[in-house]
Structure 1
Amino acid sequence: MINFKRADHFQIVVPLERLEEARIFYTDIIGLEPIERPKFTSKGYWFNIANIQLHLNTEEAMPRTSRHNAFEVTDIAAARKHLENNGVEFLEEPLIPGRERFSFIDPFGNRIELLEML
């Protein structure tokens, strides 16, 4: 399980036909708590991450870009091991003094950065 401390920024989008698969990934693998979402014309889910919300919405599939969401965690090594154990794809990030970090790609092409302040 990933112990989230705070979110720097976030937006997750998935193709409409993969929305339920995304809900399962973000609840069962990532460990987010689903919360009630207001009724909108678009489909999606909302989750709690620490004291921030992540909104999962739908959009046509796009190629990978440098767009990403970043989350500070309390134990980056444990987060990495958990994701590795679940077969998640990683990207290494350039070093930034005072931070240990890496990115991963969710099954829907979203790049997500995890970081721990040193």
Structure 2
Amino acid sequence: MSFAFKSIDHVQLAAPIGSETIARKFFCEILGFQEVEKPGILGKRGGVWFQFGTYQIHIGIEEPFAPAKKAHPAFQVENLEALKMHLTKNEINFIVDTDLPGANRIYVHDPFGNRIEILEWI
């Protein structure tokens, strides 16, 4: 082949109109991501972008809005137990899942109902 995939550039999740402030609180204040300025004309479309390391999450505005219930991003973390305590302290519910051999993992929903998997390989 004359082409090759290199990496995932970003993952986009949807949110309802006017939800940027709520997204900032969850992704920046709770999960610790950094906000990334949207370039030029894209900023006028609404939504907000976040980054951790070299990975980005784009929150796009969708009308009518419907959260992703099954499709989801999965984030690998270090010290999942500490994250679980942090989520509990901030009253963020999560579901523990033990079905993946060799991994500790949880599912959390963003404020808009989108499913997010968070796992730590053992």
TM range (shorter): 0.7 to 0.9
- 1:2-81 to 2 correspondences below 5 Å: 10-39=11-40, 40=42, 41-59=44-62, 60-62=64-66, 65-81=69-85
| Secondary structure of 1:61's aligned partner | coil
| Partner AA of 1:35 in structure 2 | V
Indicate the percent of aligned positions where both proteins have the same amino acid. 35
Alignment check: 8 A CA contact 1:10 1:70 kept: no
| Secondary structure of 1:10's aligned partner | strand
* 1:86/1:71 CA distance change after superposition, 3 Å: same
* d(CA) in 1 for partners of 2:18, 2:87: 24
- What 5-or-longer segments of structure 2 have no aligned partner? 1-7
Deviation at 1:104, TM superposition (A): 0.7
Which TM-score applies when normalising by structure 2?
Answer: 0.79
- What 5-or-longer segments of structure 1 have no aligned partner? 1-6
Structure 2 match to 1:84: 88
Moved more, 12-21 or 75-84: 12-21
Matched pairs, number:
111
Moved more, 49-58 or 37-46: 37-46
C-alpha root-mean-square deviation of aligned residues, in Å? 2.0
Structure having greater relative contact order (Cα 8 Å, sep ≥ 6): 1
Higher normalized strand content (fraction of residues): 1
